[in-house]
Chains A and B, each alone.
Chain A
Amino acid sequence: MINKILAWCDDRTGYKNLVNEALYENIPGGSRWRYVWGSTLMFTFSIQMITGIFLWMCYSPSSRSAWESVYYIQYEMQGGWLLRGIHHFTAQAMIVLLALHLLQIVIDGAYRAPREFNFWIGLILMQIVLGLSLTGYLLPWDQKGFWATNVATNLMALVPVVGPDIQKVVVGGPTYGHATLTRFFAMHAGVLPAVLIFFIVLHLAVFRRHGIHKANPWFARWLFIRPWKDNWQEKKRSDEKFWPDQVLKDVVACLAVLAVILLFTVKGMFGGEHAGEGLGPHLGAELGSPADGATPYSAARPEWYFLFLFQFLKYFHGSIEVFGAIYIPGAIMGVLFLMPFFGRWKLGHRFNIGLIFTLLLGVGLLTFVAIREDKSNPDFAKAKEQAEINRVRALQLAQSPTGIPDSGAVSLLRSDAKTQGPILFERHCASCHAHVPFNGVEPKTENRHAIESRDPSAPNLYKYATREWMGRFLDPDQIDTQNFFGNTAHNEGDMVGFVKETLSDEDQWTRKQIDQVLLALAVEAELEGLDPEDPAIKPDLMQGRQLLADTDRCAQCHKFHEENDGAYGPDLTHYASRQWMIDFISNPNHERFYSDSNDRMPAYAKNPDPKNNVLQPKEIELMVDWLRGQWYEPAGQKAPADVTSYSSATASESVAPASAEKTTKKKTSEK
C-alpha cells in the first residue's frame, strides 16, 4: 500500500531519482574518516543557521539596544545562555574544521584537475565564513567586539585610493554607531549566509559531478601504514555507498564536534569561574561591558583565530603597514588560489603540502607569540583586570532593581559612582588629596578604591564624612599630620590650635562630650542612617547639638543652624551631608565655607553657567557619592556606607562594623 502511494508521488515529482542520487553516491575505495570534514562543516553551518534564526528573534541591532538585547538573552531568557553559547562556540569550531578540511584536501591532492573550481569555491567559502565571524563578533556591541572591529575597519582605510571610502561605507559613516550595527547585522544574518548557501550549492554540485577524490595512496603509505607490515600495498578496499557507510562516519564526527561545543558551553556548570560578584556561575559565552567608543579599552584584542594577523601587524612599522595588513595576506591568498596549477607536477604537489603546513605552522606560531607577549605584559594584565571589573559591574547594575535605563546600557557605567568616582578623583583631586586607608591596609570588607597622591597638600579624604574620619580630625595627634591639615596653610590656623590645646584638655572637653559632638555631626552628615528620634541616641545627640551651638565652644567660630554673626569657620549646618559636599566642591571660597581663608582648593563649579565650570553637576555628584561610599551593590555584597555604626573613633584604630550582615540599602534617589 505504502509502495503504491510512493510510486504515485514519484510519478508526479520524480523524487526517487533525487533521493537515489543524494544517498547512493559511489565512494571509490570505500568510506573514510578523513572525508568527514566537509560534512562537519555543513553540520556546523546548519547549527549556526538554526541557532542564528532563533537568536534573531531576540536580538535588536541598534547602539542602544544591541548589548541590552544580548544581555536579556544571556541572563533573562530561559535557555538563552545555552542557545547563545552554542552559537558562539560553534563559530570557533568552524574555524578549526575549515583548517582540517583544507588540510585534507591539499594533502590528498583533491584540488587537482578536474576539481580546480571546487577548490577555488572552497577558498571563497572560507573567506565568507571568516567574514561571518568578523561581522558576528561586533553584534553584542560590547567593548571587546567594538574595539576589535574598530581596528579591523581602520585597517580598511589602508587600501590605496578607495580605502577611506570603503571604510565609511562599511562603518556606515565617519564613526561607529547605529548604522554600523544595522549594516553588520544585515551582512551577518542576510547577505553572507545567502552568498554562503549559493556557493555551498555550487560546491556540492561540482563535487558530486566529479565524485570524491580517492585518498592519496603514497601519502597514506608514508604516514598511515607501517612499512613492516606485509600489506605494503594498500589493501584494495571495495567501493561503498555514501548511505549508510560514509553517513555513519560523518554523523559520528558531527557528534564529536557537538560534544566539544557543548562542553565549552556548559563548562561553567562544573565550578571554577564565577561570572562575578552576585552573578552566579558563568555559563555559555561571555558578554563584555557595553561598548563605549569614548572610553579607552586597553585590553582590546581580536578573537583567537585572528590573533596571528594581530601579531603579524606589529612587525610592519609606519608606512609599510599596508604590506602587513593587505598586500601580504592578499598575496598568500593568491598563492593558495594558484595551488591547483602548481599541483599538476609531483614536485608542485609536494610544494603545496609543504606550503600549507608552513602556513598553518606560521599561523600557530604567531598566535602563540601573541598570547605569550600578552601574558608577560603587566600593563595588559592590569587592563584585562580593569575590563573584567567593568564587565562585572555593568552586569550588576543591569540586574539592579532600576535595570537598564532609556539611555541604554552604556549609561550604566557612566552614571555609576563606584566606577566614575575613582576616575574623576584621580583626574581632578589626586594631585593634592590622597584617598588611602589610614592604617595603610584596606580591610576586605571596605571595598573602597585607594588612590595615592603624588604630592599630598590637602587632607586625606578616605572615609570622609564618617565618624571615624571626624574622630581622627579632632585628635590632637593627627590633625596636624599629612592626613589632615599638616601640609596646608590651616596648620597655622585656629582650628589646629583649638584641637591641640583646648580639645585635648580633659577639664574643658571630656571624652564623652567629644563623642557627643561626633554623634551630632554624624547626624548632620546623613551617612549612617541614624534616626534623630531614636531614644537610644537622642540624649547624647541633644547634648552634642548643644555643644556645637554653644558660643563658648564650637559656635565661637562655626555657624550651626542658628544665625551667628561671629562665625568665620565653615558652616557646620548639615556638615558633610551630600549637598554640603557638593556645594563645598563647587566653591570652597564661598562665605559658607572657607571664604578668604581658603588655602589652594580650586572652585570646581562656581559659575552659574555650567559650561564655564571645571566640573559638571553630574561629575561632582558622582564623586561625592563615591567619597561617601553610597553606591548600589547587589544583595550579599555591602557598600561601605551600609556600615551602620562606627565605634567611637579612638586614635589609630580601624573601625569594625557592628553588624556585617545588613542587607544593601538602595539609594533613595533610585526608587
Chain B
Amino acid sequence: MDTSSTGSPTPSPDTEPRRGFLTKFFAAAIGMFVGAVPFFSGLFVFLDPLRKTAGNNGSIRVATIDSVPADGIARYFPVIADRTDAWNRYPNEPIGAVFLRRAKGSSDVQAFNAICPHAGCFVNFNIGANEYQCPCHNSNFEPGGVRIEPSHCPSPRDLDSLEVDSVKLAQGEVWVNFKNYISGKSEKIEKA
C-alpha cells in the first residue's frame, strides 16, 4: 500500500472502481435531474393545448327558411356564436360558415360545413357550374356535397354535412349543429 506524505492511503485497486462508479452515477444522475426539472416543467406547459377541446356550440341559428329558397342553389351563411380565444371572450363573432341548400320543391334544408375536407380552405359555390369549388387545390363537389370524380378529387371525403334541427325548421328557422372536422382524413372525425 502506498502512503502519501499526508498519510492518507490511496485507494487500493479493489475499492477504486466502486467509488468511481458511485461518483459517476451520482454526478450524472443529479446533473440530469437539475437539467430536467426546468425543461420538463416547460414541456408540461407546452403540451397544455392537448387539454383544450373545441367545445360544443350546440345548435346555432343560422338563417330563416325564407333565406333558403327551394331552387337547389347552395348559399353561404356565416355562423355566429360566442368565441373564446385564450384569455379573451368574444360574444357574437363569426366562428365559421355553412352552405345551406334546399333542393327544388323540397322542404328539407341541407347544411354543409364550408371548410374543404382536404386542407382547410373555404369552398365557393359556383352557380353557373352548379358545383362547390375549392380555390386551393381544385377539389369540387356536387350541390349535394358529394365529390365529383372521387378518384381525381384531392379531397379524401365528401363535404361535411351538418345536422339541421327539424323542429325549428318546421317553425321556419334553420338551426345547425355546427361542428368542425379534421381535414385530410377519409373518415369524418370531429375535431376534439
**Chain A residues near B (Cβ < 8 Å):** 63-64, 147, 150-151, 154-155, 157-158, 164-165, 168-169, 171-175, 177-179, 292, 294-300, 310, 313-314, 316-319, 321-322, 325, 379-380, 383, 427-428, 431, 602, 611-612, 614, 616
Take A154-B183, A294-B78 as given contacts and tell me if A174 and B192 are in contact as well, using a CB distance cutoff of 8 Å: yes
Residues of chain B from 19 to 58 with CB closer than 8 A to chain A in the complex:
46-47, 49-50, 52-55
Take A179-B86, A300-B136 as given contacts and tell me if A314 and B154 are in contact as well, using a CB distance cutoff of 8 Å: yes
**Cβ contact of A611, chosen from B61, B137, B155, B184, cutoff 8 A:** B61
Chain B hits for A158, CB < 8 A: 184-185
Instruction: List the 7 closest A-B pairs by CB distance, nearest first.
Output: A294-B94, A296-B122, A177-B85, A298-B135, A178-B86, A154-B120, A174-B54
Chain B hits for A612, CB < 8 A: 61
Residues of chain B from 111 to 169 with CB closer than 8 A to chain A in the complex:
114, 118-122, 124, 126, 133, 135-138, 150-157
**B156 adjacent to A318 (CB under 8 Å):** yes
Number of interface residues of B (CB under 8 A): 59
Chain B nearest CB from A182 CB (Å) reads 8
Chain B hits for A157, CB < 8 A: 182-185
Closest to B63 in A: A614
Instruction: List, sorted by A's number, 14 A–B pairs whose CB atoms are closer than 8 Å.
Output: A175-B180, A179-B86, A294-B93, A295-B94, A300-B135, A313-B119, A313-B154, A318-B151, A318-B153, A318-B186, A319-B186, A380-B135, A427-B67, A602-B66
**A294 adjacent to B97 (CB under 8 Å):** yes
**A171 adjacent to B49 (CB under 8 Å):** yes
**B184 adjacent to A321 (CB under 8 Å):** yes
Chain B hits for A155, CB < 8 A: 119, 184
Give CA–CA (A380, B134) in the complex, Å.
11
**B50 adjacent to A151 (CB under 8 Å):** no
Confirm or deny: B69 has a beta carbon within 8 angstroms of a beta carbon on chain A.
yes
Chain A nearest CB from B32 CB (Å) reads 19
Give CA–CA (A177, B69) in the complex, Å.
36
- Interface residues as binary, B86-112 with A (CB distance below 8 Å gives 1, 0 otherwise): 111000111111000000000000000
**A175 adjacent to B54 (CB under 8 Å):** yes
Chain B nearest CB from A410 CB (Å) reads 9
Give CA–CA (A168, B78) in the complex, Å.
24
Chain B hits for A616, CB < 8 A: 80, 92
Chain B hits for A383, CB < 8 A: 135
**B47 adjacent to A169 (CB under 8 Å):** yes
Give CA–CA (A322, B119) in the complex, Å.
11
Give CA–CA (A380, B124) in the complex, Å.
12
Chain B hits for A322, CB < 8 A: 184
Give CA–CA (A170, B145) in the complex, Å.
30
Closest to B79 in A: A294
Given A63-B85, A177-B86, A380-B135: 16 more A-B contacts, CB < 8 Å: A151-B136, A168-B52, A169-B50, A171-B49, A174-B54, A174-B192, A175-B180, A179-B49, A294-B96, A296-B97, A314-B137, A317-B150, A318-B153, A321-B184, A427-B67, A431-B69
Confirm or deny: B188 has a beta carbon within 8 angstroms of a beta carbon on chain A.
no
Chain A hits for B76, CB < 8 A: 296, 427
Chain B hits for A321, CB < 8 A: 118, 154, 156, 184
**Cβ contact of A314, chosen from B46, B61, B64, B138, cutoff 8 A:** B138
**A296 adjacent to B114 (CB under 8 Å):** yes
**A317 adjacent to B184 (CB under 8 Å):** no
**Chain B residues near A (Cβ < 8 Å):** 46-47, 49-50, 52-55, 61, 63-64, 66-67, 69, 75-80, 85-88, 92-97, 114, 118-122, 124, 126, 133, 135-138, 150-157, 180, 182-186, 191-192
Closest to B138 in A: A314
Give CA–CA (A179, B51) in the complex, Å.
13
Chain B nearest CB from A532 CB (Å) reads 39
Chain A hits for B157, CB < 8 A: 318
**B155 adjacent to A298 (CB under 8 Å):** no
Closest to A176 in B: B85
Chain A hits for B66, CB < 8 A: 602, 614
**A147 adjacent to B135 (CB under 8 Å):** no
Give CA–CA (A154, B155) in the complex, Å.
13
**A151 adjacent to B152 (CB under 8 Å):** no
Chain B hits for A298, CB < 8 A: 121-122, 124, 135
Chain A hits for B153, CB < 8 A: 317-318
Closest to B95 in A: A294
Closest to B97 in A: A294
**A174 adjacent to B184 (CB under 8 Å):** no
**A297 adjacent to B133 (CB under 8 Å):** no
Take A63-B85, A151-B119, A178-B87 as given contacts and tell me if A317 and B67 are in contact as well, using a CB distance cutoff of 8 Å: no
Chain A hits for B151, CB < 8 A: 317-318
**A614 adjacent to B50 (CB under 8 Å):** no
Chain A nearest CB from B179 CB (Å) reads 11
Give CA–CA (A147, B77) in the complex, Å.
20
**Cβ contact of A173, chosen from B52, B88, B155, B183, cutoff 8 A:** B52
Chain A hits for B156, CB < 8 A: 317-319, 321
Interface centre among A157, A322, A383 (most CB of B within 10 A): A157
**B50 adjacent to A297 (CB under 8 Å):** no
Closest to A318 in B: B156
Chain B hits for A313, CB < 8 A: 119, 137, 154
Give CA–CA (A651, B52) in the complex, Å.
64
Chain A hits for B119, CB < 8 A: 151, 154-155, 313
**B67 adjacent to A428 (CB under 8 Å):** yes
Chain B hits for A380, CB < 8 A: 135
